[in-house]
Amino acid sequence: MVRKRFVRYVAPSVLGSVVTSLYLVVDGVFIARGVGETGVAAVTLVLPLTMAFVAISMVFSVGGANLVSINLGSDDTDGAVSVFRQSVCALMFIGAVLSFAGAAFAVDIAAALGATGRLRLPAAEYMRYYMLFTIPVLLAMAMTTFIRHDGSPRLSARSMLWGAITNILLDYVFVFPLKMGLKGAAIATGLGQLVTVIACMRHFVERRGVLTIGCVGIRAQDIKEIVLLGIPSFLAEVSYSVLMYMHNIEIARRVGEIGVTSYGVVNYINNLAYMALLGICQGIQPLMSYYYGCGKLEESRKYRSLGVRTSMAVSASFLVLCLLLGKPIIWVFASSPGVVDLAYTILNYTNAAYIMLGMNLTHQAYLQSIYMPRQANVICLLRGFVFVKIGLTALPRLLGDAGIWTTMIFSEGLTLIVALCASAARQRDPVRAADADRTPRASERGRPSTSPPCPSTPRDLESRPQSA
């Protein structure tokens, strides 16, 4: 039953995530062929900002959705619905503020991201039109995540698929026949996210699950809880954004535009692996959170173990694929031999880190799911900020340009050591282990408990309403 349920939740999540990354890849191909390598470099400089938007969305989507599953596991349906509605309201408000900021300060923000010379205006143009769609960009991830936690992983995947198809079709139309360049690529991406949101709304409007759209009063305690559980995902995504930003700055300084372009090509390719690993984590989170809410921590650990093994297998397969076919894949994005050779070198360095990355992401997801956000935060801070900064400062001095590409291996390796040591220490400490096994009741989380005690046997997730 564990493996069956694992596949039922993880397979659609991975499919949806990979499809989403595929349309980003197609986006890159269209920009490379329709705008040129300058366009690829400009979008690469803006990418840390777009990843930061994803991070903001993950605070409320992952944090809120984990809390929804914990509440459902504790038979607190009203609490689950309230958390969902408050998360959506918060994201809409944040999206409106960010859209205004992007329209008003696009050039200044592009400059702050490292866009200089001839890259500044193209980067600002792409960012300005992309940020017009900040609300649907933030809501798309949130809606698909909440649907997954509401027992409908297949609808979540289909919604992302419809968004991806829309993006790909509009990308081609806007970039080639209409010659809209980077502006067209940004608008196509935004409209694709809007289609995903519209496709998701059917689930909530037609009441196909527990969660529904409606009015809600904002409770400071609920928002605090959501943010607390979502911060690790925020830090993980922001750290990825910061890593890219620091790499862009260091590459531009040491290698120049060819380095930025090569790194951008690698990011388009690596995003497939990253999204697959993220899909595994997002797929098992509803299960780990639900069983934790039911007081069945051992069940949560089983899904963590399956997640670790699956992520290692995916990472190893991707590494072998890129070693064998890396250069032909890179040629799709670039025609310059110098860019192809450098991108291939970077690709092999970064892919070596992805086996450890998958394990780190899974461990972080587990800590969030069992209501241990502080431990997850420490891992994220070390991984994305401390170790990356140390690596980019020290390794280039020791290894030259190779030190830049080695930084990710350095960061993920040290993070994995810390995570494994922390896990081993917690298991050796009977007091802390017992505390981790205890599920916080609603009253302990700052909300009166009106629900019955958690059932001794968890409710079968497959018995919950499913979307067609």
What's the confidence (pLDDT) of residue 184?
93
What's the confidence (pLDDT) of residue 428?
54
Instruction: Compute the C-alpha angle 373/379/381, nearest 5°.
Output: 100
What's the confidence (pLDDT) of residue 38?
83
What's the confidence (pLDDT) of residue 361?
87
What's the confidence (pLDDT) of residue 464?
46
What's the confidence (pLDDT) of residue 447?
45
Report the candidate in 452, 468, 338 with the shortest Cα–Cα distance to residue 71: 452
What's the confidence (pLDDT) of residue 427?
57
Ordered mean pLDDT values, 10 residues apiece, the chain (468 residues) = 83 79 76 83 82 84 85 84 92 93 86 81 90 93 88 86 91 92 92 94 85 83 86 75 75 81 84 87 84 83 91 92 90 84 89 88 84 80 83 88 87 88 60 46 43 40 43
CA distances from 364 to 171, 285, 416 (A): 35, 10, 11
Q: Which runs of consecutive H residues, i.e. helices, occur in 176-219?
A: 181-205
Give 67-91 pLDDT, tens digit per residue.
888 888 778 888 889 999 999 999 9
| Burial of 320 from C-beta contacts in 10 A (0-12 / 13-18 / 19+) | exposed
Give 376-413 pLDDT, tens digit per residue.
888 888 887 788 889 888 998 888 888 888 888 998 99
Report the candidate in 384, 350, 171 with the shortest Cα–Cα distance to residue 262: 350
